């Protein structure tokens, strides 16, 4: 038995061959019996039905199978144009797997992997450069400060205002910057309550 699994339109004498369900794609042709003049079986993968075709015969199906071009490369199509007696059948078979398909698949996977690797490398390199710039700015800021300090020391011999010792908080309650605020009427000329500031005798920071 000869069987053809087709893809795309099937043309008989230039007219499309349709299944009873109206579908013209995903058809199959199979020979039935030994005689070439017997009708071939037309099957439809869309509806799952099958019926004997009144025009397409076993001889025409066998002629189409012999006329198939076959495939050697991934870009090839397995087409046929067959003539048997007074009828011409044209169509395309479902492509069978060839070695070039595997090679093409490997090339496509390799290209996709390389693209993904390049994108990942670019993202990593951009992040690394941003980190390097931030680190360089920190180093440059420290270097500038050190250079200014060195230049000042070279010009002035290290002279300059002596660093102030860290300020310590006075233990006297109410002392603010060496001053104590006293609320009293004794020193007020108006006789009303007034606030008078007096230097702290403990921390001596009033200036």
Q: What HEC string does 154-198 produce?
A: HHHCCCCCCCCCCCCCCCCCCEECCEEEEEECCCCCCCCCEEEEE
Which 3 state secondary structure label does DSSP give 104?
helix
Who wins on pLDDT, 132 or 199?
199
Determine which of 8-12, 82-86, 183-187 has the lowest per-residue pLDDT on average.
183-187
Who wins on pLDDT, 31 or 97?
31
pLDDT of residue 122 exceeding 90, the answer is no
Q: How far apart are CA 83 and CA 62, in angstroms?
A: 10
Which whole number is the average pLDDT over 168-174?
76
Percent over 90 (pLDDT), the chain: 31
Average pLDDT, the chain: 81
Which whole number is the average pLDDT over 39-61?
92
What band does 36 get if pLDDT is binned at 50, 70 and 90? very high
Check residue 189 and give its pLDDT. Answer: 66
Check residue 44 and give its pLDDT. Answer: 93
- Cα-only R_g, the chain: 49
| Both tokens assigned to 134 | 């931030």
pLDDT of residue 165 exceeding 60, the answer is no
193: Cβ contacts below 8 Å, ≥ 6 apart? 183, 184, 185
Which range has the top average pLDDT, 31-35, 111-115, 172-176? 31-35
Q: How far apart are CA 174 and CA 57, in angstroms?
A: 118
Check residue 157 and give its pLDDT. Answer: 61
């Amino acid at each position: 038995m000869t069987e053809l699994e087709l893809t795309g339109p099937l043309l008989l004498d230039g007219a499309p061959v349709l299944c009873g369900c109206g579908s013209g794609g995903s058809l199959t042709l199979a020979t039935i019996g030994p005689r070439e003049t017997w009708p071939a079986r037309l099957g439809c993968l869309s509806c799952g039905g099958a019926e004997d075709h009144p025009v397409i015969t076993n001889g025409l199906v066998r002629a189409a199978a012999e006329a198939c071009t076959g495939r050697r490369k991934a870009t090839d199509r397995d087409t046929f144009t067959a003539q048997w007696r007074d009828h011409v059948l044209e169509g395309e078979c479902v492509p069978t797997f060839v070695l070039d398909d595997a090679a093409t698949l490997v090339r496509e996977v390799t290209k996709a992997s390389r693209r993904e690797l390049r994108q990942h490398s670019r993202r990593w390199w951009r992040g690394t450069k941003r980190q390097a710039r931030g680190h360089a700015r920190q180093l440059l800021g420290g270097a500038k400060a050190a250079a200014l300090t060195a230049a000042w020391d070279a010009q002035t011999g290290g002279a300059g205002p002596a660093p102030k010792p860290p300020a310590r908080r006075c233990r006297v309650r109410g002392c603010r910057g060496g001053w104590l605020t006293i609320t009293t009427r004794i020193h007020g000329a108006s006789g009303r309550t007034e606030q008078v500031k007096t230097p702290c005798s403990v921390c001596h920071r009033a200036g």
